[in-house]
Structure 1
């Protein structure tokens, strides 16, 4: 074998190795393309669908946000959609009207679910069912379709004849999130037959009171439902009285029953224990030098004791080092999208050292400001 042939062979082998390296690198780049080129790897969406009254042919989606555009699909638990929205561009849309499909077998009344779907097919229009679920799949969050459920009642009293009907509702215009209110309604049985059916009070679609009512055929009765508002989210909410297929709604302004607060009650190298009064669904985060080093489980609105926050494995916090417990609105699984809860313009948080918390020197006081001084308020800026 000549030296020229040997040198050529070496060059060829080198070229092959370079080609392999390029292919591997290209594979890595392709795999990292969303991060490198700013493309969103996981399409995101959110939807708000509230209880409402309609004529059975349309429903209204209060708000929907789609990162890549798509559709809102209305179902009632069956295999076929009852209604599909027009194509929605990427972005936020409010008060979206969705009309019933021409071939839908039932009206848009009762317990309905609105799900946000992507637009991935090349053909025009929604194609999830036509492609057996291969195209236009739902947006996902934590592995589950992005959806919301609501009860839609008909404005036509003759639309349903086998369900008790709600003729009227009377509820307080204002209340707190920690009291029992009286919700009055007039219910009547439109059939000729005696029947028993459940009657429910719902706030933003969640059941807070339920009774079983017995009415003779044609009978109407005034009913008072004692409703405990604990756990209801503060704000202007929809409150309604519902039967199987009937209902009536009104608005109620719910004020959080106490000042938002958070207090560290115990601490160690691995966990921190806190108590919290949180006015909306969220969580408690433990922060060190502005970095979150642990979060609690998601908390419903209300007061919570003995909430455990597990610190991350790499959180090296000395006993004399300060940590800050802060209330956040959002979900602990998506900390980047969460936001600190404020009260009277200040972030609701408290700062202590692990030693102080372990010794009980913090005294469960949520009034400590970010610099460790007593501020005399249940909230502080951080």
Structure 2
């Protein structure tokens, strides 16, 4: 009798332990499963990347902490990777030097963003680009990559004595993304000989325009450039005027010229068409009530875009009364699971609709409004 009770107790305990194991396993799977965009996991990181002078070939990250080790990846304002650090072991590292990649076309000057990436495949080699974003993804904090932005100005200590000098720079403090702004600079020739030299206008380190300026010995002149801001991403932008051995920088706050939003204008069983206004480049993704992406558009740049088409995946089944959400995301349209929903003033640029509503002429979209998460 006692033996039977013991055996029954063991079975009940075993069942309870099995249930606990299943719940814990489910929790782990749910916690580690990819969200619709990006992956949220336990590993954490932090980074401090301060403004600095540089030679265009390397930058210094003041401090970076990585719970699982990884890399610091430095990108220009266009999002293109310019430099990747050596592998960093787990822990805190100070004064990390990151050198420009051999194939990088842009110097490490202007507004740069340093992002902390994991070594998810454990090979101590940065494979994010080669794996199309599958390996070595960024550390996340609140669902967003851990990163910091700094402005890096050129080092003029080794400038040639006969190089023209930038005496002053004049640019607006702010502008919208649908106007033309003027940037002017006073340029001086410090040498004893007259000369003609090139003066460059750069935006976030990328050359926009060059002008040839001729100055006599000791003479000062002015150059004026115009920047059409249409199609530029909103945010803090760095404008610079450079001569061969000198340069000056100015910050401009670009504000998106209208309220971002998505308006669904047409819909059928296999596609939707939308009008989109976005302050950054991206694409439209449509997901169903189960958070499954059922289709993506081609990529587009910042600005207003009409007739953006999203074709539904051939394996997706979308009914007329299914609730769908269209949102703007940044990343690769062919790999939406690695993309990030785009936010404006803390809210996602998205709208919820059904095919029946759109086909019935009721409209769908936020009419230049952003919806909360």
TM bucket, shorter chain:
0.5 to 0.7
Q: Choose between structure 1 and 2 for higher RCO, CA contacts under 8 A separated by at least 6 residues.
A: 2
Question: How many angstroms apart in 2 are the aligned matches of 1:70 and 1:340?
Answer: 26
Q: Please list, as runs of the form range in 1=range in 2, the aligned pairs for 1:96-245 lying within 5 A after superposition.
A: 96=95, 98=97, 111-112=107-108, 137-143=125-131, 152-156=153-157, 159-161=159-161, 163-190=163-190, 192-202=193-203, 204-207=204-207, 209-218=208-217, 219-245=219-245
Query: Given that residues 286 and 324 in structure 1 are in contact (C-alpha distance below 8 angstroms), is that contact kept between their aligned partners in structure 2?
Result: yes
Does 1:380 pair with 2:371? yes
Question: How many angstroms apart in 1 are the aligned matches of 2:232 and 2:59?
Answer: 24
Query: Given that residues 198 and 213 in structure 1 are in contact (C-alpha distance below 8 angstroms), is that contact kept between their aligned partners in structure 2?
Result: yes
What secondary structure is seen at the aligned counterpart in 2 of 1:233?
coil
Question: How many angstroms apart in 2 are the aligned matches of 1:259 and 1:217?
Answer: 50
Question: How many angstroms apart in 1 are the aligned matches of 2:73 and 2:325?
Answer: 43
Q: Measured at CA, do residues 240 and 260 of structure 1 come closer, stay the same or move farther in structure 2, by a change above 3 Å?
A: same
Question: How many angstroms apart in 1 are the aligned matches of 2:343 and 2:84?
Answer: 36
What secondary structure is seen at the aligned counterpart in 1 of 2:365?
coil
Q: CA deviation at 1:262?
A: 0.6
Question: How many angstroms apart in 2 are the aligned matches of 1:140 and 1:220?
Answer: 49
Query: Given that residues 111 and 149 in structure 1 are in contact (C-alpha distance below 8 angstroms), is that contact kept between their aligned partners in structure 2?
Result: no
Q: Which residue of 2 aligns with 1:255?
A: 255
The runs of 5 or more residues in structure 1 that have no matched partner are 1-34, 75-82, 101-109, 121-134, 369-376
Question: How many angstroms apart in 1 are the aligned matches of 2:115 and 2:172?
Answer: 34
Question: How many angstroms apart in 2 are the aligned matches of 1:86 and 1:137?
Answer: 8
Question: How many angstroms apart in 2 are the aligned matches of 1:84 and 1:288?
Answer: 37
> How big is each residue's C-alpha offset from its partner over 1:267-313, in whole Å with a ceiling of 9 and x where there is no partner?
33332221111122332111221422112233322212222222222
Q: Measured at CA, do residues 136 and 378 of structure 1 come closer, stay the same or move farther in structure 2, by a change above 3 Å?
A: closer
Question: How many angstroms apart in 2 are the aligned matches of 1:274 and 1:313?
Answer: 20
Aligned Cα root-mean-square deviation (Å) = 5.0
Question: How many angstroms apart in 2 are the aligned matches of 1:243 and 1:328?
Answer: 38
> How big is each residue's C-alpha offset from its partner over 1:9-31, in whole Å with a ceiling of 9 and x where there is no partner?
xxxxxxxxxxxxxxxxxxxxxxx
Q: Which residue of 2 aligns with 1:4?
A: none
Does 1:285 pair with 2:293? no
Q: CA deviation at 1:354?
A: 2.6
Q: Which residue of 2 aligns with 1:335?
A: 337
What secondary structure is seen at the aligned counterpart in 2 of 1:315?
coil
Question: How many angstroms apart in 2 are the aligned matches of 1:351 and 1:240?
Answer: 42
Q: CA deviation at 1:230?
A: 1.9
- Which of these two proteins has the greater Rg computed from alpha carbons? 1
What secondary structure is seen at the aligned counterpart in 2 of 1:141?
coil
What secondary structure is seen at the aligned counterpart in 2 of 1:335?
helix
Q: Measured at CA, do residues 322 and 59 of structure 1 come closer, stay the same or move farther in structure 2, by a change above 3 Å?
A: closer
Q: CA deviation at 1:356?
A: 4.5
Q: CA deviation at 1:187?
A: 2.2
Query: Given that residues 296 and 308 in structure 1 are in contact (C-alpha distance below 8 angstroms), is that contact kept between their aligned partners in structure 2?
Result: yes
Question: How many angstroms apart in 2 are the aligned matches of 1:301 and 1:92?
Answer: 37
Query: Given that residues 356 and 362 in structure 1 are in contact (C-alpha distance below 8 angstroms), is that contact kept between their aligned partners in structure 2?
Result: yes
Q: CA deviation at 1:352?
A: 3.1
